[in-house]
């Protein structure tokens, strides 16, 4: 499958679909209060799944596509691969009441400078911030169920941005920090602040 100059293999499309589905469930369970809350109020999960599909799904998909498109722009061969163990942990963690979303990564090959690798990594979290900013006015303008979905879109994308900017292991923040500490501080601190606001300053229900 090809979209413009971006090609997707069958395995890649499968991995994207599975990761999208797993994150949809994980975020819905988490925002529904965890496994115990969902057990006593299963209707909450049913109500949250469509919203999570749109908000967490878009956040995940556009994050990874930002990595892929940026890598291709720098002459890389890039494909997304799901981490099925981490997807299981995301769902299990949500049931336990905490969220750890690391569904996989876009792997790219080819010659790239430290700066290019840093920019490829930074593209994902910045896309989540931008998407959260798109949802934000919709939250203010829309009421009822649509406004609630927009609110969820804001919070999920800010959480994704902050989490991925953590300077640890394979996360984007670590790659950005290796490239440029000033860039990490300049972009990372706002991402962490937005994620903290989304996590501690908001209740969906």
What value does the mean pLDDT take over residues 56-63? 90
pLDDT value at residue 189: 96
pLDDT value at residue 15: 94
CA separation for the pair 134, 55 (Å, rounded) = 11
What value does the mean pLDDT take over residues 135-161? 89
pTM of the model: 0.85
Query: Given a cut of 80, is residue 20 above it in pLDDT?
Result: yes
Q: Best-predicted range by mean pLDDT among 42-46, 108-112, 159-163?
A: 159-163
pLDDT in tens, 86-130: 999 999 999 888 877 778 889 888 888 999 999 999 999 999 999
How big is the chain, counted in residues? 205
pLDDT value at residue 203: 47
pLDDT band at 164 (very low <50, low <70, confident <90, very high): very high
Known catalytic membership, residue 64: yes
Domain ranges of the chain: 2-200
pLDDT value at residue 3: 66
User: What is the overall mean pLDDT for the chain?
Assistant: 88
pLDDT band at 204 (very low <50, low <70, confident <90, very high): very low
Detail the DSSP E strand segments found in 47-169: 77-82, 104-109
Residue among 64, 79, 116, 139 flagged as catalytic: 64
For residue 38, how many other CB atoms are within 10 A of its CB? 20
CB-based contacts of 182, cutoff 8 Å, min separation 6: none
């Amino acid at each position: 499958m090809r979209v413009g100059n971006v090609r997707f293999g069958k395995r890649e499309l499968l991995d994207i679909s599975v990761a999208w589905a797993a994150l949809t469930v994980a975020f819905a369970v988490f925002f529904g209060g965890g496994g115990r809350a969902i057990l006593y109020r299963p209707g909450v999960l049913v109500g949250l799944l469509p919203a999570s599909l749109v908000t967490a799904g878009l956040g995940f998909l556009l994050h990874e596509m930002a990595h892929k498109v940026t890598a291709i722009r720098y002459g890389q061969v890039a494909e997304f691969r799901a981490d099925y163990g981490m997807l299981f942990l995301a769902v299990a963690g949500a049931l336990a009441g905490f969220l750890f979303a690391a569904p996989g990564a876009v792997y790219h090959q080819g010659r790239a400078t430290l700066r290019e690798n840093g920019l490829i990594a930074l593209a994902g979290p910045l896309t989540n911030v931008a998407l959260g900013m798109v949802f934000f006015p919709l939250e203010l303008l829309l009421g009822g169920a649509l406004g609630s979905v927009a609110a969820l879109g804001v919070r999920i994308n800010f959480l994704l941005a902050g989490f991925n900017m953590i300077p640890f292991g394979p996360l984007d923040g670590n790659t950005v920090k290796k490239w440029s500490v000033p860039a990490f501080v300049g972009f990372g601190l706002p991402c962490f602040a937005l994620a903290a606001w989304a996590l501690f300053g908001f209740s969906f229900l």
